[in-house]
Amino acid sequence: MSLINKMLQDLDKRGSPGADGAPADIRPVGRGERSVPLPVVMGALAGVIILTAGGVYGWRYLQQPRTAPVAVAAPAAPIRPVVITPPEQLPMPETAQPQQVATVATTAPPPPATVVSDNAAARPKPAAQPEQAPAPPLREEKLATPAPLRERNVPVREEKPVSPAPRVYTPVASVALAPQAGREAVTGQGAEGAYRRALTSLQDGRVTEAVAQLEAALAIDARHEAARQTLVGILIEQRRTDEAMRLLQAGLALDVRQPAMAMLLARLQIDGGGSGIDTLMASLPAAGGNGEYRAFLAGALQRERRHQEAAEQYQAALRAAPENSVWWMGLGISLEAEKRLPEALAAFQRARAAGNLAPELQGFVERKVAALAR
């Protein structure tokens, strides 16, 4: 018992804090026994902290998807049209500029410089291009402009600049042919085309242009009778009778079988103091039974006192128009001059019977009838 008590006492002494050697060994044991709840407490605290943090994070996480679709869906609709519209609006002005430049002129460096403004080296290139070949720089600019824009509208921009290319070359061809083909290339339709253009100019009151176009028509086809007669009429109205007579003579030299032109030339010759008989006699075979032509020739012969020939021409004219009282009067004058008085009286009586004379001429015929009836 005493040994046991001693051992217990020794154990008690070792476990007591007052000892010097024992406290170092006993304190960690005591602390070890007391530190057992500390980790538990710390673990519990850590677990609570973790749970609370997880709960907060989970609560936020659960709330984010509910608000996120509303916030994303609202801007998603306006953002898509905004992204789509700029590519549709941007290419329109960019394509409009090269098209207008291509159709207006062949050498136009400013439009390509605006389209390809990002590259600084692209601007001096059109400025340094020579003026000898304006068409090639256009092709290079057309290829350079659609290159950055092929992603949006490739077929539209490639077709539009290609279409005006022939339009640019066609006037160049016409200008090149104009000095070679002369006035025919300018008119485009030959003498008939120039004549029609002249008629249009006359209707618009552009007489100077009409004269130039009629001269061009005659230069292309000297046998264009309508153009010659129209030009002669304009010259007569402008009192340029000498030029008109030269044109008529040139036309009759080409073809004498033009009674109307011969009558016009003879009228100008008579007004100028000539007889006009030679001109009329040259075209007489082509006149045939034209009463107006033969009566005009008879009057020219009568003025030259060639009454026998005049009477023959009046008789030929009256066969075409037997009721023309003026021609009957002219026939009576020539027959009276030839001393064929009975025939002259009959002619004057026919003129009076027709009753379509002017008052002065009607009085003249009445006096002749009364004088020859004695």
Domains of the chain by start residue, with CATH: 168-238 (1.25.40), 287-374 (1.25.40.10)
Q: What is the pLDDT of residue 9?
A: 66
- Could you give the CA distance from residue 192 to residue 184 in angstroms, rounded to a whole number? 10
Give pLDDT tens digits for 14-53: 655 444 444 444 444 444 444 446 777 777 788 778 888 8
Q: Running DSSP on this structure, what letter comes out for residue 64?
A: H
CA-CA-CA-CA dihedral for 72, 75, 77, 78, to nearest 10? -170
Indicate if the alpha-carbon torsion angle 29, 34, 40, 42 is positive or negative: negative
Q: What is the pLDDT of residue 47?
A: 79
Q: Running DSSP on this structure, what letter comes out for residue 20?
A: S
Q: What is the pLDDT of residue 287?
A: 93
**CA angle centred on 365, ends 362 and 366, rounded to 5°:** 85
Q: What is the pLDDT of residue 66?
A: 52
Q: What is the pLDDT of residue 37?
A: 66
**Phi and psi at residue 135, to the nearest 5°:** -70, -45
- 149-165 burial string, b = 16+ CB within 10 Å, else e? beeebeeebeebbeebb
Q: Which DSSP helix (H) or strand (E) runs through 38?
A: helix 37-89
State the amino acid at position 103 in one-letter form: T
| End-to-end C-alpha distance for the chain, whole angstroms | 218
Q: Which DSSP helix (H) or strand (E) runs through 138?
A: helix 135-144
Question: From first to last of its 374 residues, what are the pLDDT tens digits of the chain?
Answer: 454 556 656 666 665 544 444 444 444 444 444 444 677 777 778 877 888 887 777 777 777 655 444 444 444 444 454 444 444 444 444 443 434 433 333 344 444 443 333 443 334 444 444 444 444 443 443 434 444 444 444 444 444 444 444 443 333 333 333 344 444 444 446 999 999 999 999 999 999 999 999 999 999 999 998 999 899 999 999 999 999 999 999 999 999 999 999 999 999 999 999 999 999 999 999 998 999 999 999 999 999 999 999 999 999 999 999 999 999 999 999 999 999 999 999 999 999 998 889 999 999 999 999 999 88
200 Cβ contact partners less than 8 Å away, ≥ 6 residues apart: none
Find, among 227, 226, 244, the residue nearest to 235 by Cα: 244
